[in-house]
Amino acid sequence: MNKSAHIDTFAKDRLPAPDSWPEFLFGNDVPPYTGQLNAAEDLLKGGKSDSPAIHIGDVTWSYAELDKISNQVAQVLCEDYGLVPGNRVLLRGNNTPMLAALWYGVLKAGLINIATMTMLRQKELDAIIEVGMPDAIIMEDNLPIDLLESSAGSAKYVAGYKQISSLMKDKSGVFEAVDTASDDVALLAFTSGTTGIPKACIHFHRDILAMADSFAKYTLTPEQDDVFCGSPPLAFTFGLGGLLVFPHRFGASVAYFEGAGPDVILDTIERHGVTTLFTAPTAYKVLAGMVQDRDLSSLKTCVSAGENLPLSVSDQFKEATGIRLIDGIGATELIHVFISASGDDIRPGSTGKVVPGYKAEIWDENNNPLPAGEPGRLAVKGPTGCRYLNGDRQSEYVINGWNVTGDIFTQDEDGYFWFVARGDDIIVSSGCNIAAPEVEQAVIGHEAVQECAVVGVPDSDRGMIVKAFIVLDADFKPSDELAKDIQKFVKSTVAPYKYPRAIEFLDSLPKSATGKLLRKDLKN
């Protein structure tokens, strides 16, 4: 029987009622995790002590160094701050070795991680603090928002990296990880929703390992000499998996970088011999046009997530690099990717098949499975699943033991899933259903288009019409003539009734802190 190590039962007390949880599947693909388990301790056992764990610039930390430094973090949290298992620690910083050490140290001490994006604004941070009620806040020094002046004052301790580092100097680096249970809470991961009070997803220690033992193990097949790299922040579960949990579960290393942009990513790939890249479709489109005269010979695996991957982007990147992008769909509620494909199993344009360990179905509006080829709601179950803190909207996401994601998909006879739209991305115009992502893929195929977002806007004659917001490549300038040319191009690509009857050119598209397109901001 699992024995909880948590003295502070804040998170445990706020779990949704057990009968509202999804069904969890464990078996041959992902065996059950029972008894006592500390995810940080398990992950850091993945690599040899003298093997590289993290690179940044000219600095490399070995597994032994990362283990010792994270032990020092745990010592500070327990000895200097007096935190007890089950307390919550909010972390705020860019992807660096120090953030990784803090994340591991929090778990080793039996505490609960609340990682936050540096891009979040004061209102967003205050909302997370109000929901998660952290006992300590540790943030990178000199970030633009000073949490000391916000509701962070309710936390017992608020410190910058410099203060933590100063306290760490006197610590031995010897620390026995708290003997947490496999189902003790390890993370409060906040969804990237943009309205109302943010939703916190509760994930256990076992969930952290399960995302590696499913998607990473079977789709990415990492090896110890692999080097991971990418743009998503560790506060985003896509980034947490790809840029911390996955490499360390399999004894590989990760390369972080300072700054942002495609040149920085390409420089990092060349410098550290990156083999496995994680970033968003928009970045891959830009990278495809910049790889000439770059040494990308080490690169073998490129993962796209966060937004639907347009086929045109996948084709452009394949033509430029010889590498076919791995698409995937995941959710903060399930912690990471549950549908994907790699290698010869990739069907360009398809998201893929269910990752081993998971099951998925397509449902109609009455929660009944649909036959192949019929569009409907995606329902998923596996070794991970949704548990909202306080049970907020639990019954909306978990139905009959399944996680219902809000995405519209079809599944073909061979088991491949094809993205249609988010549930709220269907535009009804003159009685016809039009999926916004399908139109976006058509628009983005035009040579002048860098990014595109499509929404429905009210129209007195048609009820709604399709409107495209477009960011142009640097070589093109907005004009009526160009708008007409794009409309003509789309009509030649998809059924003419789907073309954008209105086009607006923008300098940039509104996005969330995780890089997801905010269509709602374009509808206002």
CA 190 to CA 114: how far, in whole Å?
Answer: 8
Let me know if 74 is exposed, middle or buried by CB neighbors in 10 A (0-12, 13-18, 19+): buried
CA 193 to CA 432: how far, in whole Å?
Answer: 28
166 is a domain residue: yes
- Taking residue 129's Cβ as centre, other Cβ atoms within 10 Å add up to 22
Let me know if 309 is exposed, middle or buried by CB neighbors in 10 A (0-12, 13-18, 19+): buried
Q: Are residues 267 and 184 in the same domain?
A: yes
Which of 411, 444, 460 is where one domain is finished? 411
134 is a domain residue: yes
Query: What is the number of structural domains in the chain?
Result: 2
Three-class SS of residue 104?
A: helix
Q: Are residues 213 and 333 in the same domain?
A: yes
206 is a domain residue: yes
Amino acid at 123: K
Domain boundaries, position 509: 425-523
Let me know if 142 is exposed, middle or buried by CB neighbors in 10 A (0-12, 13-18, 19+): exposed
CA 364 to CA 305: how far, in whole Å?
Answer: 25
Q: Are residues 82 and 152 in the same domain?
A: yes
Which of 355, 380, 411 is where one domain is finished? 411
Q: What are the two backbone dihedrals, phi and then psi, of residue 359, each rounded to the nearest 5 degrees?
A: -130, 150
pLDDT per residue of the chain (524 residues) written in tens, 0 to 9: 689 999 999 999 999 999 999 999 999 999 999 899 999 999 999 889 999 999 999 999 999 999 999 999 999 999 999 999 999 999 999 999 999 999 999 999 999 999 998 877 777 788 889 899 999 999 999 887 666 555 565 788 889 999 999 999 999 999 999 999 999 999 999 986 434 467 899 999 999 999 999 999 999 999 999 999 999 899 989 999 999 999 999 999 999 999 888 899 999 999 999 999 999 887 898 899 999 889 999 999 999 976 778 888 899 999 999 999 999 999 999 999 999 999 999 999 999 999 999 999 999 989 999 999 999 999 999 999 999 999 878 999 999 999 999 889 999 999 999 988 776 677 877 656 687 888 898 899 999 999 999 998 887 777 789 999 999 998 999 999 999 999 999 988 887 878 999 999 999 998 876 677 787 788 76
DSSP E strand boundaries for 81-164: 88-92, 112-116, 136-139, 157-160
> Length of the chain in residues, anyone?
524
Q: Are residues 368 and 464 in the same domain?
A: no
- Taking residue 237's Cβ as centre, other Cβ atoms within 10 Å add up to 30
175 is a domain residue: yes
Q: Are residues 292 and 328 in the same domain?
A: yes
CA 232 to CA 117: how far, in whole Å?
Answer: 10
CA 83 to CA 80: how far, in whole Å?
Answer: 8
